Amino acid sequence: MSTALASPAALDSGQAPLRVMVVDDSVVIRGLISRWIDAEPDMLVAASLRTGLDAVSQVERANPDVVVLDIEMPDLDGISALPQLLARKPDLIIIMASTLTRRNAEISFKAMSLGAADYIPKPESTREIAAADIFKHDLIQKIRNLTAKRRRPAVVAAPPLAPREQAPKPTRAALASAQSAPTLRPFGSLHPRVLLIGSSTGGPQALMTLVAGIESVIDTVPVLITQHMPPTFTTILAEHLARVAGRPVREGVNEEVVKPGRIYVAPGGRHMRVVRKGTGAVIALDDGPPVNFCKPAVDPLFTSAIDIWQGGILAVILTGMGSDGMRGGKQIVAAGGSVIAQDEASSVVWGMPGAAAQAGICAAVLPLQQIAPKLVRLFAGGHA
């Protein structure tokens, strides 16, 4: 097991550094991730272990905040170790790490249903500098974002005022919090003719919940989804969504006609846009550079839809890191459409929906469980 001391920068911030346990049977991967973690001023390596069995036996002593857990390991693999780790430390954040095989994609989805917070694809070869750099960037960002909520300073309730005691003036922090509350705008006046959805970290679970409750919407309009995911994973996502929706769900195919009654998922590694063809719309896949550091990205889908449906667009931005979808959402609203964002409490990471909410482009900011009923009402012609 390897450990590291907290850096001065982490201690100066007033918070203890994030404790990260790295579990992988590859000594190269363990060493690589451990060096990355130790180089961050707000993180330290709580343990570096070879098997899931080692992780389970040492989790209470190492007391990590986050575990980066490989799937394929001797003695006890990641999917078997996962529930045992959570049983010993229920608030543990677990990020599954795997190579991009169909089997590992399936296991990663199962792991998320069992309590894993997220997954990260490992490069086939860490000797590819570009692949290793992307892996490093994504891993560090996921660790920070997934732990952000629990590391915020707790808000302590003020004691009740004594008789004749004046309330204290609001602090700068309180004023800033009040000023940051999102301002909502009215829903667009046109009846929506398409549903667009963007999501990232925490998105697969959120999409399952949402799609299961919008059968009547799917039957009447096309539904197009961009979820930040690599190839193979989006294939599995489409299959899972088809099961919960009871409707056709598939990865978008170039030149495919967009029809009501179907859900189209942006394939991993390609941007999915829509373009006009005759009186309808077809899918246009784009192998261009990442947008907002993502490929597929939400903004290309959102902006491309305006030429076809103008003000008849209803867009939903679910949990995820970054701000992807906010710029496209602005253009949708400017064209007369509407945007709904998932609220902070129900989001795994309130990056994407938070950016949209704070930009003032949302007609509603709702808990995940309330979004599907709202969509059903709106597409049935009900008022907001």
Look up 75 and say whether it is catalytic.
no
Q: Which residues pair with 65 in a beta bridge?
A: none
Query: What's the first-to-final CA gap in the chain, in angstroms?
Result: 56
**Closest Cα partner for 366 from 316, 307, 300?**
316
Q: How many CB atoms lie within 10 A of CB 169?
A: 7
Q: Is residue 72 a contact partner of residue 25, using CB atoms and an 8 Å limit?
A: yes
Q: How far is CA 307 from CA 92, 155, 287, 304, 358, in A?
A: 45, 46, 21, 6, 26
Residue of 54, 228, 323, 346 with catalytic role: 228
User: Active-site residue 228, yes or no?
Assistant: yes
Distance CA 37, CA 47 (A): 11
Q: At 347, which amino acid appears?
A: S
**Do residues 37 and 144 touch, judged by C-beta distance below 8 A?**
no
In the three-class reduction of DSSP (H, G, I as helix; E, B as strand; rest coil), residue 194 is classed as strand
Q: What are the Cα distances from residue 42, in Å, to 12, 146, 310?
A: 10, 14, 45
Distances (CA, A) of 223 to 169, 247, 265, 315: 49, 11, 9, 10
Given the residues 65, 77, 324, 343, select the one marked as catalytic.
324
| 200 is an active site residue | yes
Cβ-Cβ contacts under 8 Å for 113 (sequence gap 6 or more):
205
The Cα 347–Cα 259 span in angstroms is 30
Residue 254 CA, chain-centre distance (Å), reads: 26
Number of DSSP helices (H) and strands (E) in the chain, helices first: 14, 14
Q: Catalytic pick from 48, 200, 304, 346?
A: 200
d(CA 203, CA 140): 19
Q: Which residues are marked as active site? A: 200, 228, 324
